[in-house]
Chain A
C-alpha cells in the first residue's frame, strides 16, 4: 500500500528539484565568470577591486547574487536535512537539527548579503 507523504515533505522535495534546476544555471555562470574563465596570466589573482569592478559592471549581477545566495543555501541545507531524515531521528532530535539548520541558513544568507553589499560598493 502506498505510504502517505506529508505536505511538507512533498513541498521540500519539489523545492529541492526546482532550486536544483535554477542552480544549474546560476552555478555554471558563477563558475565560468569567477573560477574557470578568470585568466590568471592576464587578470592576475582575484582581488577586492577586481571583484567590485566585475559586480558594478551591470545591475544584473546584483539581482543575480541576491537570488543565487538564498537558493544555494536552501538547496544545500535542505539536501543535508534529507540525508539526515533518512536516519529517522526521534522527534526531539529532529527538531533540534532542524532549528540548527534554520539558524545556520539565516546566518549564511545574512553574512553573504553583508559581504556582497561591501563588494558592490556605493549605491548597493
Chain B
C-alpha cells in the first residue's frame, strides 16, 4: 500500500469508526504535528538571543500582542490535550487497562476543561493591548 492509499484508508477508517479510540488517535497525531511545528518556530524565535539583547527584544516584542495571546491559548489547549491523552495512552499501555480507556478519556476530558478555564483566566489580561504598556523590568 503506497502513502496516498494508506492516507485514504486511514481517513475512511476514521469515517467508518466514529468512536473515542479513533478520535483520540487523530487528536494525538494532529496536536503532535502542530506542537512539533511550534517547537521549531519557538526555538527559532528564541535563538535571536544568540545575536544579543536588542535582537531578542525586537523579535520577542513582535510576538507579544493580543493576536499572539489568542494563538497562545490554542498552543496551551494543544499541549494539555496532547499531554492528557498521552498519559491515557501510557496508563492503558503500561497497565494493560484497555477496558478502562473510555472512562479515563472522559475523566481527562473534564480535567482538560478545568485546566483551560484556568489558563484562559490567566491569559485574559494579554487579550487587551493597553496592558502591554504596563509594568516591565
Contacts and interface: CB of A to CB of B under 8 A. Distances in A.
A20 interface: yes
Given A36-B122, A87-B3, A112-B43, A118 B50 contact: yes
Contacts of B132: 40, 44-45
Given A17-B93, A35-B72, A53-B137, A40 B56 contact: no
Nearest to B122: A36
A46 interface: yes
Contacts of B94: 17
A103 interface: no
A24 B86 contact: yes
B137 A49 contact: yes
Chain B contact residues: over half helix, strand or loop, or mixed? helix
B94 to A, nearest CB: 7
A112 B86 CA distance: 25
Interface in B109-137: 119, 122-123, 125-126, 131-132, 134-137
A114 interface: yes
Most buried by A among B3, B7, B132: B3
A112 B50 CA distance: 10
Q: Chain A's interface: helix, strand, loop or mixed, by majority?
A: helix
Interface string B48-79: 01101100110011001000000010001001
A interface bracket (residues with beta carbon within 8 Å of B): 35 or more
21 contacts: A17-B89, A17-B93, A24-B83, A28-B83, A31-B76, A40-B126, A45-B64, A48-B57, A49-B53, A49-B137, A72-B39, A73-B39, A80-B33, A80-B36, A83-B32, A83-B33, A87-B6, A89-B3, A111-B44, A112-B47, A114-B47
Interface of B: 1, 3, 6-7, 10, 29, 32-33, 35-36, 39-40, 43-44, 46-47, 49-50, 52-53, 56-57, 60-61, 64, 72, 76, 79, 83, 86-87, 89-90, 93-94, 119, 122-123, 125-126, 131-132, 134-137
